[in-house]
Amino acid sequence: MERLIFHLDVNSAFLSWEAVRHLSHTGEDLRLIPSAIGGNPEKRTGIILAKSIPAKKMGIKTGEPVSMALRKCPELVLHPPDFHLYQRNSNAFMRICHAYAPVIEKFSIDECFMDMTGTGLLYPDPVALACEIKDKIRTELGFTVNIGIANNKLCAKMASDFEKPDRVHTLFRHEIPEKLWTLPVDELFMTGRATVEKLRKINVRTIGQLAAMDVTSLQTLFGQKHGSSLHARARGEDDSPVLAVPEEAKGYSISTTLEEDVTASEDARRILLALADSVAARMRADGARTACVAVTIRANDFKNHSHQQSLSAPTDGTMEIYDISCRLFDALWDKNTPLRLLGISLTQLSREEGGQLTFFNDAKREKEEKIDKTVDGIRARFGTGAVVRGAVYKTPLNVGRKYKAQLESKKETR
């Protein structure tokens, strides 16, 4: 049976969701004026998360510092992010999708895939159905979505990125030469800047030119796995399923961009403790342990540097992860370079039951396990910021007090 996949993408999600709320209070639609969602321009973490179409026309770009955006457009209307608002709206549009599709995969807070395979008798016209879904979301929730329709997830995702907003686009197999291969190679999903630069050096500028290349040549240039993936994506090939239940995480990572340069080792260690506390708790909540800890730092050269250490036995202990992170950090940092970013990642996961064997003695290990279990329980009941380790509060950067805002733990790419 021919697969039929929808990809839904909320148009300028954060801005749209704030606009709906703002419209109900003031009657002014943020989507029609130069506006954006972003942080405090006085902080390094203040960046543009989403912008209106009028702001885009003023040269405002997602990901650029708020201060730069304000120089381009002094009249820019800024609103701070509100992730509780975003989650409510995400849940609302997902509920509408669930009314139509037997299987839905939440791809991000503002995107999902719908597997409509085998629904032809119920919905004979997929384009008409997609229009019905997007119009229902607009009418009931007040914001718009784009919907891409294709025979696989990759092409559905690419189709939803065609002309915006509030549109339905198709990218079926027979449409690939006309609609996909004519696009610039940098628009191919999951193709990064470094890959695009390498392709341009060999005069590959369109997705069609990439699709026409010999796969062996791509494997020689990019490695076997990456080269094969590039070739398949350029040809619009993808057999990945729509997953109602997410795959288990391959790793966990957390980082924080620092509001002030860190020049003291004790401050860096307190930040590492906060990071270790957060990411280890997230991992424990999924019943996982790590056998590899890595630390990443970024200095004023804006380049990331990292070290990792494999463990003789998996662990989920906050303090063990913290102690390893400190040793890795000491090996990385020259103590003279101001730090702009610190991060920890945990990989080589296992989910077997049983005690952990570490360099801690048994009594200390048992004590730390009890502390972790108690802290996890309090946070589960009263929220992430209910308990913060005391040492974190001593840092002048106040990382502990900004626990929820700055230390957002994220699962790595599955």
Known catalytic residues are 111
DSSP 59-125: T--TTSBHHHHHHH-TT-EEE---HHHHHHHHHHHHHHHHTT-SEEEEEETTEEEEE-TT-TTT-S-
77 neighbors 34 (Cβ within 8 angstroms): yes
Cα separation, 322 vs 285, in Å, equals: 18
Alpha helices per DSSP H over 223-361:
224-234, 265-285, 318-332
Q: What does each C-alpha distance from 350 to 23, 246, 289, 323, 324 come to in angstroms?
A: 48, 17, 5, 20, 18
244, containing H or E segment: none
